[in-house]
Amino acid sequence: MAQLNQAITPPERVGPPEPLSPTARAILKDRMASHAQEMSGLVSAIMLLQYSDVVTRADRIAADVNLSRPITNDATELNASLPEKFFVRQDELKAAAHALANAGRTANPYLVAEAYGKLSENCVRCHADYRPSN
């Protein structure tokens, strides 16, 4: 029961999403489109228990989560327009994608389901933090 309560705990955000600059949104636009395609294929692979595809897609998601934290506050660093919390969420996503790939390697559907739940929770939390509602 404790796991269920933890799984359905809503994100911390109470108000609207945190604002991102137009520059930050431009940085993320193409990346999120690619990410969305990968996630769609991942869900399909998970539902069909296609473990090699789960591993491949989860590994690609982990590899694609690679925006570097800015080294300085120099305006020439495009990533400086992204808040630190974004990079924290990115690190969590990368770890969750690696965990899902490892679960896929076991070919255990229950481990895959649990790992996917953690990955998708991370996605929802980041979207809740930064993506405007429609």
pTM, entire model = 0.80
**Residue 95 domain flag:** yes
The distance in angstroms from the start CA to the end CA of the chain is 33
What 3-state class would DSSP assign to 10?
coil
- pLDDT value, residue 22: 80
Q: Is 99 among the domain residues?
A: yes
Residue 7 included in any domain: no
Asked if residue 9 belongs to a domain, the reply is no
Q: What kind and span of H or E run contains 102?
A: helix 84-106
| Number of folded domains that form the chain | 1
Would you state the pLDDT for residue 12?
Answer: 56
CA-to-CA distance for 129 and 134, rounded, in angstroms?
14
Determine the structural domain holding residue 125 and report its residue range.
Answer: 21-130
CATH number of the domain bearing residue 56: 1.20.120.10
Residue 16 counted as domain residue: no
Residue 63 maps to a domain: yes
Phi, psi of 108 (to 5 degrees): -100, 110
**20-32, pLDDT tens digit by residue?**
878 778 778 877 8
Q: Among 30, 20, 22, which Cα is nearest to 87's? A: 20
State pLDDT tens for residues 71-99: 766 655 667 778 888 889 999 999 999 99
Does the residue 52 lie in any domain? Answer: yes
- Residue 1 resides in a domain: no
* Predicted pLDDT of residue 134: 61
